[in-house]
């Protein structure tokens, strides 16, 4: 909200050799210095120019947005006077007036600042009621600034009402509060209310950059973005953090210093952690969390960053234009857009709820890392489980929701960190082919037999020959939650020939060199059968993404040709068609259908369903 550069000419720097913190040194001095409060400034400009000055103002907003500073600037504008030049209330204060310095330093006799938290009784209000009868000593108006006004007692509020509604002409009230809902409506109705906004991150970064230039401090753009993000729209918090970072970095601030100072996680590693969770790779997710913890990131902060990225992906999925946020790094925007295209909304919503629950557990736990581990395990475990509506579809289709196609166990990739024969996505319960074991699952014998049972139990695999179409293969990869591979198949593969067990394709110019080998290896791991992938040339077909984009453009073109849509577009200049959805078509968020099975009685029954 607030942050300025001594635009009025008042000096507020180091005095007498004493250091003044940045939050005070660069405190705004005029309305021009206010950042992000244009609606309030415009309203006050019109009110002052027409003489429609209210008797009371209510300033509200979160901590650090500058409510008290704005109150002082407003008091300065009410009493602004330059001998021989200006003698009326104004928000235009290009030079220092006769009362300005004393008002901004909080020592003017006619501008009385009170802390309502410590002066909240009816006796303190009686003193104000008695004092308002007397005219100001030297200024135009006697101004009362009550900070944290919501702390006044009920009797104090009631005692103030009459004076607040009909004060003497020479008295003005300015109230500030962070808890606007605790202020009685009888008081609010007698004030002009202004909600001070949080500063947008890109503007806050610009403010911090200008201050570092004035202070001759070198700082990375990434470090500035971290400070602005941690401040959550508060100028005072951002300046306090910048002050701390300058001391921490000894004049040269880099992202690693700020990350360690704030206990933050590396943003790119957080996105890697999100990808591992959505793919169900539990061991990798826990290793990424431990790496961040070892370099100083708090487990709760990592989960909060995960929740923030989940929210970002969900917003981009629902509102594609959200990806155009100028304050977002390009790599983060690109990866969030890819996740939004690949992940169903139901999966994102489930991850969001589980992260919120995990954050609460971490904050209330005596072992935050262990609590965060358990939260990540739950999320990764649920990544390949059906949502309630998917389970219902499986039940209706005659399948059991306990073993949906997407939860088929996968073979562990080679890894030096995983014990032999163990993989995080291995089945969580074991059953012999002849039925449930007669040994109690909780007995020592059962626990001793579990490794042998897991090793000897037959693994249910989906034969590669069941992929009758390339789209079936892409759907199967999506069920396995391997998002990078699924996106590569959709965007980088032009099919030349596809038949059961074989794919020949021409890669796009941006395709990975290892795409063919990666796909063949993963399909073989998942199904247990050999799947050949061959790179060729001369494809005549388009990629799935290109076909989808062409279809979207065709639908938009058809929609524009519709007379009703054309009339709407003509009625609202600048409007455009963002997307076209046809009623009756299955939602884009519906679960991916499993690959078709071989012809037979089961296929006929599924077709009937």
pLDDT of res. 577: 81
Q: Is 372 in the same domain as 402?
A: no
User: The domain that contains 316 carries what CATH number?
Assistant: 1.20.272.10
- 432 bridge partner residues: 435
Residue 508 lies in a domain: yes
pLDDT of res. 439: 34
Let me know: does 577 contact 376? Beta carbons within 8 Å.
no
Residue 297 lies in a domain: yes
Let me know: does 132 contact 56? Beta carbons within 8 Å.
no
Among residues 195, 212, 234, the one where a domain terminates is 195
> What pTM did the predictor assign?
0.56
Q: Would residue 461 be called left, alpha or beta, if left means φ above 0 and alpha means ψ between -120 and 50 degrees? A: beta
The count of domains in the chain is 4
Q: Is 600 in the same domain as 478?
A: yes
Q: Is 329 in the same domain as 207?
A: no
Range of the domain at 93: 22-195
User: The domain that contains 232 carries what CATH number?
Assistant: 1.10.8.60
Residue 435 lies in a domain: no
Q: Is 150 in the same domain as 284?
A: no
pLDDT digits (tens, 9 = 90+) for 164-188: 999 999 999 999 999 999 999 999 9
pLDDT of res. 465: 46
pLDDT of res. 462: 44
pLDDT of res. 422: 39
Strand segments, DSSP code E, in 220-298 are: 252-253
Q: Is 186 in the same domain as 139?
A: yes
Q: Is 97 in the same domain as 190?
A: yes
Q: How far apart are CA 599 and CA 609, in angstroms?
A: 15
β-pairing, 493-499 vs 171-177, is unpaired
Residue 440 lies in a domain: no
Q: Is 295 in the same domain as 320?
A: yes
Q: Is 466 in the same domain as 599?
A: yes
Q: How many residues make up the chain in this entry?
A: 609
Q: What is the 8-class DSSP label of residue 119? A: S
Count of CB atoms situated within 10 Å of the CB of 442: 7
Measured in degrees and rounded to the nearest 5, phi and psi for residue 406 equal: -75, -15
Nearest to 48 by CA among 141, 150, 154: 141
Among residues 195, 229, 251, the one where a domain terminates is 195
Residue 86 lies in a domain: yes
Q: Is 184 in the same domain as 68?
A: yes
User: The domain that contains 84 carries what CATH number?
Assistant: 3.40.50.300
Q: Is 44 in the same domain as 99?
A: yes
Among residues 245, 262, 279, the one where a domain terminates is 262
Residue 109 lies in a domain: yes
pLDDT of res. 488: 87
Segments in the chain below pLDDT 50: 1-16, 400-465, 585-609
pLDDT of res. 385: 72
Q: Is 395 in the same domain as 505?
A: yes
Residue 450 lies in a domain: no
Q: How far apart are CA 75 and CA 68, in angstroms?
A: 11
Let me know: does 10 contact 96? Beta carbons within 8 Å.
yes
Measured in degrees and rounded to the nearest 5, phi and psi for residue 532 equal: -90, 135
Q: How far apart are CA 151 and CA 115, in angstroms?
A: 9
Residue 513 lies in a domain: yes
Q: Is 272 in the same domain as 341?
A: yes
pLDDT of res. 327: 62
β-pairing, 171-177 vs 192-195, is unpaired
């Amino acid at each position: 909200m607030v942050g300025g550069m001594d635009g009025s000419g008042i000096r507020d720097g180091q005095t007498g050799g004493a250091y003044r913190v940045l939050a005070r040194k660069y405190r705004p001095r005029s309305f021009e210095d206010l950042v992000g409060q244009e609606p309030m400034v415009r309203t006050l400009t019109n009110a002052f120019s027409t003489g429609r000055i209210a008797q009371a103002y209510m300033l509200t907003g979160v901590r650090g947005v500058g409510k008290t500073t704005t109150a002082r600037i407003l008091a300065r504008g009410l009493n602004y006077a330059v001998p021989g030049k200006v003698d009326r209330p104004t928000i235009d204060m290009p030079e220092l007036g006769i009362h300005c310095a004393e008002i901004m330093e909080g020592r003017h006799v006619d501008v009385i600042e009170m802390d309502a938290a410590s002066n909240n009784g009816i006796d303190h209000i009686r003193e104000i009621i008695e004092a308002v009868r007397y005219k100001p000593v030297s200024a135009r108006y006697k101004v009362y600034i009550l900070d944290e006004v919501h702390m006044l007692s009920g009797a104090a509020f009631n005692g103030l009402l009459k004076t607040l509604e009909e004060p003497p002409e020479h008295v003005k009230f300015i109230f500030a509060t962070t808890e606007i809902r605790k202020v009685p409506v009888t008081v609010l109705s007698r004030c002009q209310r202004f909600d001070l906004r949080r500063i947008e991150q890109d503007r806050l970064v610009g403010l911090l950059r200008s201050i570092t230039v004035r202070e001759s401090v070198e700082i990375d753009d990434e470090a500035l973005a971290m400070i602005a993000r941690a401040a959550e729209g508060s100028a005072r918090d951002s300046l306090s953090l910048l002050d701390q970072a300058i001391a921490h970095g000894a004049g040269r601030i880099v992202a690693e210093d700020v990350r360690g100072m704030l206990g933050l996680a590396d943003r790119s590693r957080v996105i890697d952690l999100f990808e591992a969770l959505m793919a169900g790779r539990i061991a990798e997710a826990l290793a990424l969390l431990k790496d961040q913890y070892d370099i100083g990131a708090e487990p709760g902060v990592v989960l909060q960053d995960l929740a923030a990225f989940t929210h970002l992906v969900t917003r981009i999925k629902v509102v594609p234009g959200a990806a155009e946020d100028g304050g977002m790094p390009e790599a983060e925007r690109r990866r969030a857009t890819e996740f939004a295209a690949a992940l169903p909304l139901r999966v994102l919503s489930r991850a969001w709820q589980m992260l919120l629950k995990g954050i609460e557990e971490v904050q209330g736990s005596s072992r935050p890392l262990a609590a965060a581990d358990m939260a990540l395990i739950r999320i990764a475990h649920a990544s390949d489980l059906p949502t309630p509506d998917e389970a219902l579809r499986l039940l209706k289709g005659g399948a059991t929701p306990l073993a949906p196609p997407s939860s088929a166990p996968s073979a562990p990739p080679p890894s030096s960190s995983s014990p032999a024969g163990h993989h995080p996505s291995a089945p969580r319960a074991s059953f012999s082919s002849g039925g449930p074991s007669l040994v109690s699952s909780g007995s020592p014998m059962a626990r001793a037999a579990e490794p042998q049972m897991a090793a000897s139990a037959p693994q249910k695999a989906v034969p590669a020959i069941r992929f009758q179409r390339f789209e079936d293969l892409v759907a199967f990869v999506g069920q396995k939650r391997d998002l990078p591979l699924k996106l590569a198949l959709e965007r980088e593969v032009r099919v030349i020939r596809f038949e059961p067990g074989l794919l020949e394709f021409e890669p796009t110019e941006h395709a990975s060199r290892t795409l063919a080998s990666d796909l063949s290896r993963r399909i073989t791991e998942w199904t247990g059968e050999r799947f050949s992938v061959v790179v060729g040339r001369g494809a005549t077909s388009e990629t799935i993404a290109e076909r989808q984009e062409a279809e979207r453009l065709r639908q938009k073109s058809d929609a524009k040709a519709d007379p009703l849509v054309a009339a709407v577009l003509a009625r609202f200049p600048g409007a455009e068609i963002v997307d076209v959805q046809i009623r009756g078509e299955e939602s884009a968020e519906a679960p991916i259908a499993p690959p078709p099975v071989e012809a037979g009685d089961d296929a006929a029954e599924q077709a009937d369903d």
